[in-house]
Structure 1
Amino acid sequence: MYIIAIAWLYVALLAALADTTVVGGVLTFVFWGLAPLALFLWLIGTPARRRGAARRGDEDTGTKDRADSDRDQ
């Protein structure tokens, strides 16, 4: 998966270098390279983060303790 991420950044960098202005190149690299890649890696990494949290015991156990709520709440 990391080879795809590296290739994506390489292509985005080449597209940014081919841009006519510095500001356009930076914006091209950020919006066509870094932002989509960060979103993709975050979405793909979600199951691994959930497994890690469950392994550590950070997640809710699934029991809904409603002992402190009244009927009107």
Structure 2
Amino acid sequence: MYLIVIGWMYVVLMMSVAEATNTTGTVLGGIVTFFLYGILPVGIVVYVMRAPQRRRAIKAREAAEDAARATATAPDARAASTQPDAGGEAPGAAEPGGVAPVRKEP
């Protein structure tokens, strides 16, 4: 992709030089040609073509943050699992059936 961009910028540079050195051309015309035919379209094309790469970088960064978050909370979870009542909560046990199941009358 960058080879095409470099080639196009070379062509645009030569167009700008030809515009600036022509007898009916101006330096301002060469500068405008360079920006409107070179910098602006190439910037847009490079931005669009790099979208998948940016998306992969964002996903990789989010995965690294998730992994760091998981390792940061993992020691607390292991310590709590070795001492089940250390959290100050009542131990989980089977509750008596407080609500009867709904069924039709006989």
Deviation of 1:11 (Å): 0.3
Deviation of 1:2 (Å): 1.0
Partner of 2:8: 8
Partner of 2:91: none
* CA distance in 2: counterparts of 1:57 and 1:33, whole angstroms: 35
Quick one: percent identity of the two aligned structures? 38
Deviation of 1:25 (Å): 0.2
Partner of 2:70: none
Alignment of 1:31-50 (within 5 A): 31-50=36-55
Relative contact order (C-alpha < 8 Å, sep 6+): which is higher? 1
* CA distance in 2: counterparts of 1:53 and 1:28, whole angstroms: 36
Give unpaired runs (5+ residues) of structure 1.
59-73
User: What amino acid does structure 1 have at the position aligned with 2:34?
Assistant: F
TM-score when scaled to structure 2?
Answer: 0.53
Deviation of 1:36 (Å): 0.3
C-alpha RMSD of the superposition: 1.1
Partner of 1:69: none
TM-score when scaled to structure 1?
Answer: 0.76
Give unpaired runs (5+ residues) of structure 2.
20-24, 64-106
User: What amino acid does structure 1 have at the position aligned with 2:28?
Assistant: V
Alignment of 1:50-69 (within 5 A): 50-57=55-62
* CA distance in 2: counterparts of 1:54 and 1:32, whole angstroms: 34
Aligned length: 58
